[in-house]
Chain A
Amino acid sequence: MKEDMHSKHSEHDHKPFKKVSKQEHDHSHTSIEDIEINSWKKKMIWSWIFTIPIAIVMLFDRIFGLSLLEFAGDKGMIIILLLVAFPVVFIFGFDTIKSGLRGLFTFYFNMDSLIALGTIVAYLTGIGAIFGIMQDYSGVSAMIMAFFTTGKYVEAIARGRASKEIKKLLELGAKKAKILRGKNEYEISIEQLKIGDIMIIKPGEKIPTDGVVINGDSAVDESMITGESIPTDKIKGSSVIGATINQDGILYVKVSKIGKDTFLAHIIELVEEAQGTKVPIQRMADKITSVFVPAILVLALLTFINWWYFTGDLSRALGVGVAVLVIACPCALGLATPTALMVGSGMGAKRGILIRKGEAIQTMKEVKIIVFDKTGTITKGKPEVSDIYSKVKEGYLLEMAASVEKLSEHPLSHAIVTKAQDSGIKKFKEVKSFKILRGRGVEGKIGNKSIIIGNQTLMKERKISLKGFESKIDEFEGNGKTTMIVVENSKVIGIIGVADAVKDDSIQAIGLLNAQGYKTVMITGDNERTAKAIAREVGIKEVIANVLPEDKAKKVEELQKQGMVAFIGDGINDAPALKQSNVGIAMGTGTDIAIEAGDLVLAKGSLVGVVQAINLSKATFRKIKQNLFWAFAYNVVAIPLAVAGVLHPVIAEIAMALSSITVVTNANLLRRRKI
């Protein structure tokens, strides 16, 4: 699968703008839909212009027994009705009739086949009526078509509304970019941007495409992509995402990704592909839809024959047959799932939750166990100084330690340097004879002081007494902190505890999941002590520690014996576990998004997104079930009524139009739910 994605990308490399350029997206999306809406609107308006007079004439004739067309005589009236109904059925309804008849002849039956047959049969009764063989239903044919076009028009609008958020996503991209060439600023269109160009982004402007800040600092509003409402600070070296909005400073950004490779383009592709995936519960409805039309054709024919045979009333039999044809509505069945999925995924996209597989939202409600990867998922994935215990001034301790650690590339060293910088230390001391003692620590000389920073092994090696610090060291390590001992001239002056800190909202998110009755489990390659300390902090009861990365999937498999498992990981190294689990939720942090890994992908790396994703999946699935219920119920009730001859064909057509409108509208109501 991964290879496919890549080969697909490379195919387009020589024309990177071809598919993603904003205009094309607009073109392929809005316009097809708008054309559809407008064309139904036109058909609807014209149909009614001709149908309303027919309706008035029929109303007076059938209900009050008054003939408004008395001057023309009985036959004249039928001829006038036939003439007026003709354009409605055969001109404004041309597309429907054409598609329907083609369906009948090629055996690719569709909805139109039913309407075409229904209206044509009804129309032909008018011709029969001229010869006095049967009752005239020609006016009815116009009314059926008029209501059909109206229903389609309303349905098209409602469907458009269902894809509102997704359309917004497509419209997010910037159209122009300002770039620096030499000392001059040029404005160019987004298609002309090249990797390596320097873009200038002023306050309030949209960042044209993905890149890295090379100069300037500012806060950037990334809510449209990640759902994160607080602007993110950007400094030199930070990555920025195209389509996000620069708030208050000028940024100089070097373009790193363009066209199809940008973050936004990936998200759009994910969302579009999700629309094409099926939710299993829909399968049954799809099976019915595929045999629905031929079944109804047969049923209508049988109904007609039966009525004719048993009542001998040809007109009545025809009327009932037409009612059966036009009342059957496979549309409500077929729209039940896709519309709800569309609304649900749109709501998700707005919040940085991408539903990749429709199946996941159905599986989600069966999930009992939620397994979290520790590093980078529950925690920030970067060690930070969490505790300092010192016999000297803390500032002095940090200054000494950071000056030496600055020369090392180790993550623990970074943590100490960052802490020193955060607490206001700007300049570091000069260090001589610096040495890295691999696996144990570092040492160096500052002036005439010899500094050693390292673990207990190093202290033992150098025979340095830990007196006065033992209990603190035990306390730090008991809490899962990596402890570094700072020694000045062979005397311990303080200890620094470093830990991979828990993300701000992990505790809240896991608390919510526990409260909802999920069994929460943490899985990690760390030692048991560190793992348990983190688990305690966030409220996870079960810990699986000392797991090699390649064994994570196996552990998930074991847990699956107890129930459905959702696995939450950061998507890059957790891919096998994400695949093994019943629902894989990948956390895409920053600009990296692991496309192939998860069934659901979170654009921002916060666990609150997991809670939202679970709630959204469940709400969407409930909506799908509701919709399917209504669609089935409608057909199960309405078709027998039509067969029984209780429903006039026009009423049948109105009911049909309403059924699909109801389903689409109900899907739109999903938006009212708080996620």
Chain B
Amino acid sequence: MNSIIFRTVSRLLMGLMLLFSLFLLWRGHNEPGGGFIGGLVAAAGLVVYGLADGPKSMRLILRADPGAIALTGLLIAVIAGLMPVVGGSDFLTGLWLFIGATPTDKGLALGTPLLFDIGVYLAVVGGVVGMVIAIEESL
């Protein structure tokens, strides 16, 4: 699609959608959101850019093969699930690290569920973008 308006707007939109996807990913543990929906929003942002500029530039800004992104994400998710197994808990049990916790406040909570969600995020981004690129390139 060769429209200068769409191409200009698509860059702005992509930036906003990527930021919003990170926000969704971060809040996902206790509020609506998470890796899957965050990944879909990020993929939608990248696809908008790809529609405007073509699949070639989409590959360029991704810097890695979408399939590799997806499977790295899966690997991260599996590792997040296996970390508690090393400590003797069940597969996928949440392990938490509370940074700067006070008696009233949990502080910054980092845990394996977040790592799992990051893995899901990457798997969804890689999977969806990979499919869209494959379709666009065969058109």
A and B: interacting chains = no
